Amino acid sequence: MIDFELTDDHKSAQQIARDVAHKYLKPRIADLDRENKNDPEFIKRLKDAELLGVCIPQKYGGMGLDYISLGLVCEEMEYVDTSARVAFSVHIGLNSLTLLTWGNEFQKEKYLVPQAKGEKIGTFGLTEPAAGSDAVGILTTAKKAGSKYILNGEKMWISLSEVADMFLIFAWTDTDKQKKRDHTGLSAFIVERTFKGVTTGSITGKLGVRAGKTGWSALSDVEDPAENLLGNEGEGFRIAMSCLDGGRYTVAAGSTGLIRACMDACKDYALTRKTFEVPIAQHQLVKEMFAEMIYGYEAGQYLWMKVGWLRNKGMRSTRETSLAKWFCTDQAEKAAYNAVQIHGAYGFSDEYPVERFFRNSKGAAIYEGTREIHKLMQADYYLGYRTDHPVRCMPPRWEE
């Protein structure tokens, strides 16, 4: 049976996230964004509210709520600030859910538990200066040397790179396969910030997400114990793609929060600002922009909630996640564009939040699979050029 009603647990996760975001972030976000500053306190607030492990089972230190709760938290967070949602997505969607799916018990105890409790922060390192969409094009290598792997390479566009304690790093363990672009030569590793040879830095001058810590990380002869290999050698590409299923879900859900923020900001403005002696909300062309935002919000929510439902049941959702991510980020971009338009000249100034929403909306149409990658995936699924093969480790179904 399909049930559209939120449970008490859903409403409670939603409320906790709403409270944290409104109380601690909302009053400061405009200044933080203007000053390109990250709020380190915010992560602590999420930890105190236990949200950093919202959908991680209690036995691994999390709250044990379901994947819909995860989506609701993302929506509430991005309603207030995209950069907070990005940090949350990377920590839980890309990193912790991956440890839950692919980690062995030792790795879960050592790395997942402190992450779910918010004592340690995780991030994800796939993208490189010369390889984004083309994940097989990465250059980082991991050479086995006795009981260790020696990692060398550079990762780029890493959210939380200067904050995270743990990185998931993707690297070639078989360089012959690298030459043939055979993805089975790639492997995944857990790397700790404190390991010798790990350096990180920030990327400045970003169009949006200016209150977020985005950066790079360089690995120079980093000695990673073999026990930190995630999954088996050669499973790195599959692990990366399954990470992205988790991450893209959180991006899709978050984007509906941005659409709602645009709608609400415009409602107050359009009902009070007058032109031609009537509130601008009464003009048909303004109504059309509202209608488009409502359409994006409602349809987007159905799409990501369906993914949450599939994940709860332990079912594969790569196609549905890609569609939700494409649609929701696309609609968020359109909503933010319309929000600036509705505000007229004021929308062009940082006196109103819609200018920030507009800049923040752009990144999500690029990271975690560009709009173009998702269009190709959708067409390829439909045309039969792409099918999902069984995967050795699936994200665990939600146990009530």
Rounded to 5 degrees, φ, ψ at 273 are: -75, 130
Judged by CB under 6 A, the residue of 241, 281, 294, 299 near ligand CAA is 241
Contact 95, 168 (CB under 8 A): yes
The reply on whether position 212 binds ligand CAA by CB under 6 A is: no
User: Quick one: which of 192, 328, 323, 351 has its CA closest to 265?
Assistant: 351
The reply on whether position 242 binds ligand CAA by CB under 6 A is: yes
Residues with catalytic annotation? 368
Please identify, among the stretches 65-73, 185-193, 240-248, 265-273, the one whose residues bind ligand CAA according to the rule CB under 6 A: 240-248
x/- mask, ligand CAA, residues 83-122, rule CB under 6 A, reads: -------x--------------------------------
Question: Could you give the C-alpha distances from 160 to 84, 208, 354, in angstroms and in order?
Answer: 11, 15, 25
The reply on whether position 367 binds ligand CAA by CB under 6 A is: yes
Judged by CB under 6 A, the residue of 79, 111, 157, 167 near ligand CAA is 157
The reply on whether position 74 binds ligand CAA by CB under 6 A is: no
- The angle formed by the CA atoms of residues 172, 177 and 180, to the nearest 5 degrees, is 125
The reply on whether position 127 binds ligand CAA by CB under 6 A is: yes
Considering only residues 310 to 349 of the shown chain, the ones binding ligand CAA according to CB under 6 A are 318
The reply on whether position 391 binds ligand CAA by CB under 6 A is: yes
Report helix, strand or coil for 115: helix
Residue 93 CB, shortest distance to ligand CAA, in Å, is 9
Q: Checking phi first, is residue 225 left (phi over 0); if not, alpha (psi -120 to 50) or beta?
A: beta
The reply on whether position 368 binds ligand CAA by CB under 6 A is: yes
**Rounded Cα distance, 280 and 277, in Å:** 9
Residue 245 CB, shortest distance to ligand CAA, in Å, is 5
Dihedral sign of CA atoms 7, 52, 93, 148 in order:
negative
- CA atoms within 13 Å, Cβ hemisphere of 271: 6
The reply on whether position 132 binds ligand CAA by CB under 6 A is: yes
User: Quick one: which of 252, 249, 244, 257 has its CA closest to 368?
Assistant: 244
Which stretches of the chain bind ligand CAA, using CB under 6 A?
A: 90, 124, 126-127, 132-133, 135, 157-159, 183, 237-238, 241-242, 244-245, 318, 367-369, 373, 377, 389, 391
